[in-house]
Amino acid sequence: MKYTYDAAGVSINTADSIKSVIKKHAKTTARPEVLAGPGLFGGMFEFKGYKQPVLVSSIDGVGTKLKIAEAMDRHDTVGQDLVNHCVNDILTCGAEPLFLLDYIAMGKLSPDKVEAIVKGLS
């Protein structure tokens, strides 16, 4: 038996398609200091013009709101909610939100759901 990603239920073509959608939406929010777009293993941000920069980061999740999004078949609000959580956490530290690192996990990739989430993020 030949082992492949497709045989394991992982579609490389679907993943590539989703990455293109993510890049499209991410471009709409990129600041000039962002040195590289999505697709790499890390984000790059130039701190030119900042004196003694301190990086404040936040990561959050939307928790049970995903159940509501599923029930309503509306996933754009999930992205909006996530941005609000992270931005608010950073602002409470007196810092400026500079960028957002994302992570989307789901049992089966759904391009439509991912696009709605990413559209909400942007």
Residue 73 tokens, joined: 């078949």
Confidence of residue 5 (pLDDT cuts 50, 70, 90): confident
Structure pTM?
Answer: 0.75
pLDDT in tens, 7-56: 888 888 988 898 898 889 888 888 898 888 777 778 888 888 888 889 99
Which one has a higher pLDDT value, 93 or 34? 93
pLDDT in tens, 50-91: 888 899 999 888 888 889 998 999 998 888 998 999 999 999
CA distance 52 to 90: 17
Q: Report DSSP letters for 49-75, one per residue.
A: T-SS----------TTHHHHHHHHT--
Domains and CATH numbers, the chain: 6-121 (3.30.1330.10)
Confidence of residue 2 (pLDDT cuts 50, 70, 90): confident
